[in-house]
Amino acid sequence: MREEENKRSSQSKVKSIMKKRWFLPAVYIFSAAVLLTGILVYQASDNEFTQDPSENKQNITSENNEPSIEVNNSLETFTIPMSEAESAVIKKEFYDVDGDTKQQEASLVVYNNTYQPNTGIDYAMKDGKGFDVTASMSGKVKSVQEDALLGNLVVVEHDKGIETHYSSIKDIKVKEGDNLKQGETFAKGGTSAINEEAGTHVHFEVRKDNVAVNPLEYLDKPISSLKAEKKEADTKAKDSADQEKEETTENQDDAGNETSEDSNENQESNPNQEPGNE
């Protein structure tokens, strides 16, 4: 009986509360607060979820920019620096110190009655018309020079100590610090005072440690072939220097031994002579 009375009493209290004026507004406010809290929590979690991938993507992109350039550069091979390479002809070849006399004579440049060895390859079109000059390999523009004698000059750096030089060009479209992709047009073939007989052409050089090498030996070859040769040359130079140093040391030792022997012989021949007296 008491349980039933307590139950009825509880129900009557609930009904009494529900009949009060403030009950429904309180319920609405509470429900709105719960709903608003749920929305805010959802938005916060959603923003956190969408923000992280974008940040990761940005980090990945920025971190991969430089390595991708290096990878592309390592996979490329040196190419003829002309947009229509299939129609290119060589006006003057590289002067090879180990070449035969005929080849060397043909590779000399005559200017002001003086002969100079050609340090690159002079390319032109078969029909002698103008053409676009393109980057032989991807790299960064190291310098741009206006030079009437050479016909302007653009130097592109590809690796430490490895560069390509383009002269006898006009309508240059790049400046120092620009990045060039392989095959990208950056100038047009021009003329130069030092080699007027070549007409409209481009003078192309490949250099390592500022020493010109024969571009024909590296066409269709990757930059690693030039780096490997550079490393081999450095090793030979080091070995040669070490050998020369050893020979110098040996000669000094031999000279010291001969001096000591001569001194001993003099003392034996003059046993009564006091040291320091002639």
Could you give the domains of the chain?
A: 85-228 (2.70.70.10)
Residue from 139, 222, 133 nearest 182 by CA: 139
212, burial (CB in 10 Å: exposed 0-12, middle 13-18, buried 19+): middle
Cα distance between residue 96 and residue 117, in whole Å: 9
Cα distance between residue 165 and residue 215, in whole Å: 11
Of 62-76, 198-212, 214-228, the least confident? 62-76
Over residues 147-155, mean pLDDT: 95
| Residue 213 CA from chain centroid, whole number | 19
**pLDDT digit string (tens) for 1-34?**
555 555 555 555 555 655 556 556 666 676 666 6
Taken as a whole, the chain contains a residue count of: 278
Both structure tokens of 70: 């290096």
Over residues 53-71, mean pLDDT: 47
User: 22-32 as b/e, with b when 16 or more CB fall inside 10 Å?
Assistant: eeeeeeeeeee
**What confidence score (pLDDT) does residue 231 get?**
54
Scanning the structure block, which residue is given the tokens 């090879």?
96
Cα distance between residue 169 and residue 239, in whole Å: 41
For residue 198, how many other CB atoms are within 10 A of its CB?
Answer: 22
Cα distance between residue 123 and residue 81, in whole Å: 8
Cα distance between residue 183 and residue 133, in whole Å: 9
**What confidence score (pLDDT) does residue 75 get?**
85
**Does 162 have pLDDT greater than 60?**
yes
Across the chain, which distance is largest between two alpha carbons, in Å?
148
pLDDT bracket for residue 191 (50, 70, 90): very high
Q: Are 202 and 168 in contact (CB under 8 A)?
A: yes
- What does pTM read for this prediction? 0.61
**Does 68 have pLDDT greater than 90?**
no
**What confidence score (pLDDT) does residue 228 get?**
75
Mean pLDDT (the chain, rounded): 78
65, burial (CB in 10 Å: exposed 0-12, middle 13-18, buried 19+): exposed
